[in-house]
Amino acid sequence: MKLQESMRELLHKELQHGEVAAISTLLSGEIAAVDNYNFAMQHIRDIDLIPTLETCRNSHAVRVQFLQNRLHELNAKHVKTAGMWGSLTRFIENCACLLGDKVALSVLAAGEDFGYDQYNNHLSSLDVDTKEMVESELLPMQARTLETMRMLCAFLSDSKEARYSHS
């Protein structure tokens, strides 16, 4: 009986460890997204783009809070920075901003796409409650920011083509 209880406890700890690792990975990505949107908004040339970028950034900030709260509920420490992933994405976004708004937005859109894949890839590592939260709240939010950035990139491409065709 005690062996069975010990095995169950060990299995529970192992499952929770995998879940905490998955949530921490998602949290690091969300922190990186908030940082990158903040950086892009400081360097974007077309100020008309800023409200849309703020909306996306705020969506990621809400997801940061969701994930931090979930880790707190699991009595797990949460990451406070994006870590090495954040440094890499900041470097890429920095280079993109130097090349112009369209490139910077394309990098943000690629990050949104990567984030969407990350949520889907980590679903199987989550417990029922966390998985439900991700599927009902976080993944739809991620899908919206992904679609927003795709539409913004398409709009910039279309408006640039329209300017050249009228010349």
37: nearest Cα among 17, 1, 61 = 61
For the cut 80, the answer to whether the pLDDT of residue 118 exceeds it is yes
Boundaries of every domain in the chain = 2-158
Q: For 79-100, what is each residue's pLDDT tens digit?
A: 666 565 555 555 555 555 556 7
How buried is 98 (Cβ within 10 angstroms: 0-12 exposed, 13-18 middle, 19+ buried)? exposed
Dihedrals phi, psi of 132, to nearest 5 degrees: -65, -40
For tokens 């996306």, what's the residue? 56
Q: For 10-39, what is each residue's pLDDT tens digit?
A: 444 444 557 889 999 999 999 999 988 998
Fold observed for domain 2-158:
Ferritin (1.20.1260)
